Amino acid sequence: MGTIQLKKVRKAFGESIIIPGADLDIKHGEFIVFVGPSGCGKSTLLRMIAGLEDLTSGEILIDGKDCSDAAPASRGLSMVFQSYALYPHMTVRNNIAFGLKMAGETPEQIAPKVAKAAETLNLTEYLDRKPGQLSGGQRQRVAIGRAIVRNPSGFLFDEPLSNLDAALRVNMRIFIMQLHKDLGATMVYVTHDQVEAMTMADRIVVLNRGNIEQVGSPLELYNKPNSKFVAGFIGSPKMNFVEGNIAAKHKAKTIGVRPEHIDIVSGKGEWQGKILLTEHLGSDSFLHVDAGDAGRLVVRAPGEFAGKPGDNISLKPDAARIHKFDAQDLSIR
Amino acid sequence: MATNQSRAIGKWALAPSLIVLSAWAFVPLALTIYFAFLRYNLQDPDNTSWFGLSNFYYFLSDPYFTKDFINTILLVGSTIIFTIAGGVGLAVLLDQPFWGRGIVRLLMISPFFIMPTVSSLVWKNLIMHPVFGLFAGIQRFFGSTEPIDWFGHYPLISVIIIVTWQWLPYATLILLTAMQSLDGEQKDAAAMDGAPPLSYFRYIVLPHLSRPITVVILIETIFLLNIFAEIKVTSVGGFAGNLTYLVFSQLNDANDVGAAAAGGIIAVILANIVSYFLVRIVGKNLEG
């Protein structure tokens, strides 16, 4: 089992309110990603679930049991930290075994579990090394090994990939997704990287200033964002926002169009613009366009697009894919 | 930077300081070695002659030598043990957040800034004095009629108490700084692993402190071998003197420059032997 329920969870340090009140139901076996800009309270929320931060008020239920005041180790959860937080003077073996040892297991009980975890993570040949002798990716795997060896009902990840280089990050991302599939355990994953959130999550929780802005599957958030904040945060490159007369024509304060939903047309389109910059990624080209009244837009073009900075182009947004927002930045549907 | 020309300039620019430094270090040492082989007593300064190894022989066969050698070991060893034990405890305490922590830390360090002569005088006359001292007062308060005469009956222990008081802040300061460099996420990880406070201390904090503890042991050994003011001021040299004090008394009481110089050389050699083994034993901690 591995259900986690947050009920009006609130966190304040004196006057400053970090999390005004969060409600969330995490089902068994779900991969949940908390995403948001830095300082949005996503790590604090995760640490509250872990038991590393006290609740100001509210309740956390794990497997239906009230764990609001329970000690971290008694919640049946494991955590992987951003800095890995390996014990530097212990060998990899002892790092992985430490939690079991603290739980009072005998060396005979511990050894096979450590061996199994090490095998899963390809760490067998490194078991007698110390963390200082390992590469970043290997340390990351040790941190995961330390988490899985206790066979928890849920895993908590606090930006675990942010210290890795880009190539390794992609590998570890796939590795963690595979691990989730194999173990079937609940995972809560914190990141500020919306790509990680989109690719890994069953459901994404978007946080903004401590508030849960929206919860939903990656495509739900992409297609039907509740607010301008979610619309701008999910998707890369960012959604274009246009205000003023053009928005007023759609009866909205602001309209948003994603770069991939603007077509470059021959003849007269809806907007006219001049290319300022081009970013060629091979598969796609992103054009930064000065579109007069519509302001500065980013437009996705095919990889072989031949336009150069200074060229004039006509643009046509996909009418069905225009998002409308009211004065409170909420979506109009 | 690495042309021949710039290297030559560098050498000439460094030369003056190197010359002054070597003169500073070598002239006194050379003179000491020279005196150590002379029969040279200030009561009979005109009668100075080559003395061979006799100064060394007389210094080593002096009954005070064995006693003071043991005293030196006891003084250095026990002070290190007490300052490390106390320092670890205080560092853990001062690392906790509490009101007025900044002031307490500042006060904690202050004994280290008091001159040894001054603090020894205070300990001698105001704290450990059998009539006027604070300790005697406390004993009388609890009904004792015969307070302990610290320097009379326990001279070495008294010196150890004073020196420990002086060096505890140093150990605390180094260990507290090390405590602060302990990654907060490690504490979190230990909490997730279910380590109770004592296990956290035993398996995470203490190993983290092993390197600074090594540094404290090495530095304190160097300085504690040379303790002098505390022994001289409290006038316990006859009972609790160390090698430094023995060298001093050879010169001051016996006016024997040759024997004092020989004692100085022997002390240097012994200190080197001690530090050689010390570095081998604890120095492993400093690698990697």
For residue A75, the domain's CATH number is: 3.40.50.300
Q: Min CA distance, A83 vs chain B (Å)?
A: 7
Domain boundary among A203, A231, A259: A231
Mean pLDDT computed over A89-93 = 94
- C-alpha count within 13 angstroms, C-beta hemisphere, residue B200: 17
Are A260 and A206 in the same domain? no
**% of chain B surpassing 90 pLDDT:** 58
Give all domains of chain B, ordered by start, each with its CATH number: 18-286 (1.10.3720.10)
The whole-number pLDDT of residue B120 equals 94
Are A207 and A319 in the same domain? no
Print burial letters for A64-103: b (CB count within 10 Å at least 16), e (below 16): eeebbeeebbebbbbbbbbbbbbbebbbbbbbbbbbbbbe
Nearest residue of chain B to residue A133 (CA atoms): B288
Distance between CA atoms of residues A78 and A99, nearest Å: 10
Say which of A78, A85, A90 has its CB closest to residue B183: A85
Say which of A73, A88, A89 has its CB closest to residue B192: A73
Are A198 and A290 in the same domain? no
Question: Which residue has tokens 């899985």?
Answer: A148
**What are the CA-CA distances from residue A202 to residues A82, A99, A215, A223, A283 (Å)?**
22, 29, 10, 15, 27
Are A192 and A267 in the same domain? no
Residue-number span of the structural domain to which A167 is assigned: 4-231
**Domain at A298, CATH number:** 2.40.50.140
A278-322: pLDDT as tens digits: 999 989 999 999 988 888 999 999 988 888 899 999 999 998 999
B272 interfaces chain A, CB cutoff of 8 Å: no
Are A161 and A60 in the same domain? yes
Are A47 and A64 in the same domain? yes
Are A206 and A272 in the same domain? no
Are A261 and A197 in the same domain? no
- Which tokens go with B203? 């398996």
Record: contact A102-B194, CB cut-off 8 A = yes
Record: contact B191-A102, CB cut-off 8 A = no
Question: Which secondary structure element, helix H or strand E, spans residue A229, and what is its range?
Answer: helix A228-233
The whole-number pLDDT of residue B287 equals 62
A202-254: pLDDT as tens digits: 999 999 999 999 999 999 999 999 999 999 999 889 999 999 888 888 888 99
Nearest residue of chain A to residue B211 (CA atoms): A89
Domain boundary among A231, A263, A279: A231
Record: contact A74-B194, CB cut-off 8 A = yes
B188 interfaces chain A, CB cutoff of 8 Å: yes
Are A164 and A277 in the same domain? no
User: Which residues on chain B are in Cβ contact (under 8 Å) with A71?
Assistant: 191, 194
What pLDDT band is residue A44 in, cutting at 50, 70 and 90?
A: very high
Axis crossing angle, helix B63-95 with helix B243-252, rounded to the nearest 10: 130
Distance between CA atoms of residues A60 and B121, nearest Å: 62
| A224: nearest Cα among A201, A258, A250 | A258
Q: Tally the domains of chain A.
A: 2
Are A132 and A199 in the same domain? yes
Domain boundary among A185, A201, A231: A231
User: Which residues on chain B are in Cβ contact (under 8 Å) with A74?
Assistant: 194
Are A192 and A316 in the same domain? no
The pTM (predicted TM-score) of the whole model is 0.81
Q: In what order do the strands lie in the sheet with A323-325?
A: A240-243, A254-257, A323-325, A331-332
Are A120 and A248 in the same domain? no
What pLDDT band is residue B271 in, cutting at 50, 70 and 90?
A: confident
**% of chain A surpassing 90 pLDDT:** 72
Handedness of CA A222, A223, A229, A230 (dihedral sign): negative
What pLDDT band is residue B46 in, cutting at 50, 70 and 90?
A: confident
